[in-house]
């Protein structure tokens, strides 16, 4: 079976699906959440630069065609801090 590749919405790099965080606009409710659910998906690298650009330029919102709640960004920042404690955030 061939590996699944995805593209980061921020830096546009193509990598294996498992290397990204998945953000989903769930169908039919339209709720935006992390990792689980069926619907329109966007993938982002777990890096400070990608998350900053995605938040500042609303790349998640444009990719998902939905408003992304601030709480989701805060969750992503927390996840980034936990996964990489040496990063300067």
Q: What is the pLDDT of residue 72?
A: 94
Cβ neighbourhood burial of 1 (10 Å; 0-12, 13-18, 19+): exposed
**Residue 68 resides in a domain:** yes
Give this prediction's pTM.
0.86
Strand-pair category, 5-7 with 14-16: antiparallel
For position 50, which CATH number holds?
3.30.1230.10
Domain that holds residue 33: 5-83
Residues 52 and 35: their CA atoms lie apart, in Å, by: 19
Q: How many domains does the chain have?
A: 1
Write down the pLDDT at residue 48: 93
Whether 88 maps to a domain, the answer reads no
Residue 6: pLDDT over 90: yes
pLDDT for 10-67, tens place per residue?
A: 999 999 999 999 999 998 888 999 988 899 999 999 999 999 999 999 999 999 999 9
pLDDT band at residue 88 using 50, 70 and 90 as cut-offs: low
């Amino acid at each position: 079976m061939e590996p699944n590749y995805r593209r980061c919405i921020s830096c546009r790099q193509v990598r294996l699906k498992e290397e990204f965080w998945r953000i989903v606009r769930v169908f039919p409710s339209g709720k935006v959440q992390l990792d689980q659910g069926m619907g329109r998906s966007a993938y982002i690298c777990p890096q400070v630069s990608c998350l900053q650009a995605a938040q500042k330029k609303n790349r998640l919102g444009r990719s998902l065609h939905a408003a992304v709640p601030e709480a989701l960004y805060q969750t992503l920042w927390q996840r980034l801090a936990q996964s990489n404690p040496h990063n300067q955030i």
